[in-house]
Each structure stands twice: as structure tokens, then as C-alpha cells.
Amino acid sequence: MDIQQLNRDFGIAGQLEIISGQGGLPMIKIDNDSASALISIYGGQVLSFQPLDQAEDVLFLSQQSAYTEGKAIRGGIPVCWPWFGPDPKGLQRPNHGFVRNHFWQLANTTTISASETKVSLLFNETYKKENTWRQPFMLLLDIGIGPSLQLKLTTFNTGDTPFSITQAFHSYFRVGDIKRVKIFGLEDCEYFDKLEQGTQKTQKGVVAVTKEVDRVYVEARRDLVIVDPVLQRRIHINSPDTSTAVVWNPWSKTSKKMPDLANLDYRRFICVEAGNVAFDLIKIQPGSQFSLQANYSLRPD
């Protein structure tokens, strides 16, 4: 991609610039009166979001992440689409689908005000090169950077047969100390414990993470809150169109097997992922569309 041309087409003086980021990947850098942000066009992935009054980024981004075509960037908010988790057909296709491993197209940038910037990314061509997904589709990711971070992922079925997807915003939130974090909003929810072959369990009280967790909560509430007493903040996650939420932290043993995470990184993040996962399969008819939305905002603890 030609960075200079992208800036001529989409740059916004004093607010938005396209830069050559890590690994030479084109990235969108935003600085407005509310927040700063970094978005990778590769993967359609928000990598950083930091409101001006915050000393620390809202998102965790691994310093050992690969920035290479074909690999996912570890951290920020990868988009999992058109499946979440392992290939549902067992064809050895990539975990969490293929859009986090490909370039998107920058489609639009807009200044809403001095304190709010919008970016739209499109994904509709790359699938043709893949022998994995033959259904015509278009994906539109609208990203709002303001006092809160807003994401909207719209799937359009542009073909003439229905298809079904699972999907998620795989958000990595930066925390001060994982052992002191609590997640509110999942009390009494049923969940599938992926570490115990999907055994169904019921959440007792708020979620505290003291070991490896990999859970899919069903019938989750639309508002979840991560309470972080160390960074003295609460991260509010509002996702109106989802009924599942995934909570993941690899803890020490699994982290050590992951080359793109430092051994102690697990202490500094929690993934709380809004999505349509497992039985929350979304069927999209020809000519129809479906949007997954999430809004991330901060309040002091």
C-alpha cells in the first residue's frame, strides 16, 4: 500500500494520519481531543485506544507480537470472522477465521467533531484467493474514536444462498494485575468451560481470574464491567446484539508455549470478548446484513 497516497485520500490534518507501523504495516494513527488510537489496516484491528485522561492504554498489545502477513497480531482487538475458535469443518483452516490475517481496505475517514473521529474499513476481495470460503460477502468495520471506542462489524450477504457465521471482537484489555481484577455482569450465567471439553457450568458470583480460563458464557448480559483496582478504572463493555461473551486468559503455563507473548504478559491482560459464538450462530439471508456492535468506555474505580 502506498502510504503517501493513503494520506492524500484519507488523512485529516491534525487528527488522522496513515503511517508505516511495526513490520512496515500501514496503520491509522488518530489523535483528537478525546483520545489517541492506532488501527492496523492489516487485520482490521484496533491496536491502541487511550483516552487523554488515562495514563495507560485501554488495550493490551504484546511486544512480542508478529507483524507478518499470514499471522495474527497478538493484542488489541482482532476480528474473529466467519468463525470463532477452531475451523468448524475441521479443514485445518485458521483459528478464528481469516480476516485477522489479511489486509483490509481503508474505505472512509471522517471528523465528527474535534473530539470524535470515524474510520471505516472494508473486506471483500481476499476471500477469493482462499480456498476456504466461497460465499460472496462484504464486511464493513466502522470504528469510532472519541470519549469511548465504538466498533460495528456489518456482514452483508452479497450472494444468492444463505450462510451462517460465528464472530467476535477478541478484545485484549490491559489490566494492572490480573489477580485483582473482577468481571461483573456474568453472575449466574451458564458457561461452557473450554478447558474441560466444553462442560457446562454456572457462574457463581463475579468472575475472578486466578488460573487459566477459557469460557464461553451464554445468555450474557449486554453490559459487562471489568473492575481494575490497580489501574483504578472500570472498563464498560456494552454489546447490544450479542448473547455470548468469551473470557480468556492463558495464565503462566499456556503463555510459555505462545511465542508471541512474554512469559509474564498474562498478568497484564484479560480478554473479555463480545460476540456471537458457539450456539449463537447467525444465519444471514441473501441480500441481508447483520451487525455486531460493541462500545468500550472507562470510568474511574
Query: Catalytic residues, which ones?
Result: 170, 273
C-alpha 55: how far from chain center? 22
Q: How far is the CB of 37 from ligand G6P (least distance, A)?
A: 21
Report residue 260 as a C-alpha cell: 508471541
- Asked if 96 touches ligand G6P (CB under 6 A), the answer is yes
Contact between 248 and ligand G6P by CB under 6 A: the answer reads yes
Rounded to 5 degrees, φ, ψ at 29 are: -110, 125
Nearer to ligand G6P, 16 or 247 (CB): 247
Give yes or no for residue 270 binding ligand G6P (CB under 6 A): no
d(CA 218, CA 279): 9
Q: What are phi and psi of 124, to 5 degrees?
A: -150, -5
**Residue 233 engages ligand G6P in binding (rule: CB under 6 A):** no
The site string for ligand G6P over 56-75 (x = CB under 6 A, - otherwise) reads ----------------x---
Q: How far apart are CA 100 and CA 95, in angstroms?
A: 10
Please state the closest distance from residue 54 (CB atom) to ligand G6P, in A: 24
Residues 3 and 18: beta-carbon distance below 8 Å: yes
Among 37, 46, 225, 271, binds ligand G6P (CB under 6 A): 271
Q: Which of 14, 58, 63, 21 is nearest to 43 (CA)?
A: 21
Which one of 46, 99, 237, 246 is in contact with ligand G6P (CB under 6 A)? 246
> Of these, 194, 222, 236, 267, which contacts ligand G6P (CB under 6 A)?
194
Gap between the Cα atoms of 274 and 260, Å rounded: 23
**CB of 84 or CB of 137, closer to ligand G6P:** 84
Q: Smallest distance, Å, CB 157 to ligand G6P?
A: 26
Give yes or no for residue 49 binding ligand G6P (CB under 6 A).
Answer: no
CB 176 within 8 A of CB 231: yes
Encoded one letter per residue, x for contact with ligand G6P by CB under 6 A and - for no contact, window 143-182 reads: ----------------------------------------
Contact 66, 124 (CB under 8 A): no
Q: How far is CA 209 from CA 28, 166, 175, 178, 181, in A?
A: 33, 25, 12, 7, 7
Q: Is 95 among the residues that bind ligand G6P (CB under 6 A)?
A: yes
| Binding site residues, ligand G6P, CB under 6 A | 72, 85, 95-96, 194, 214, 246, 248, 271
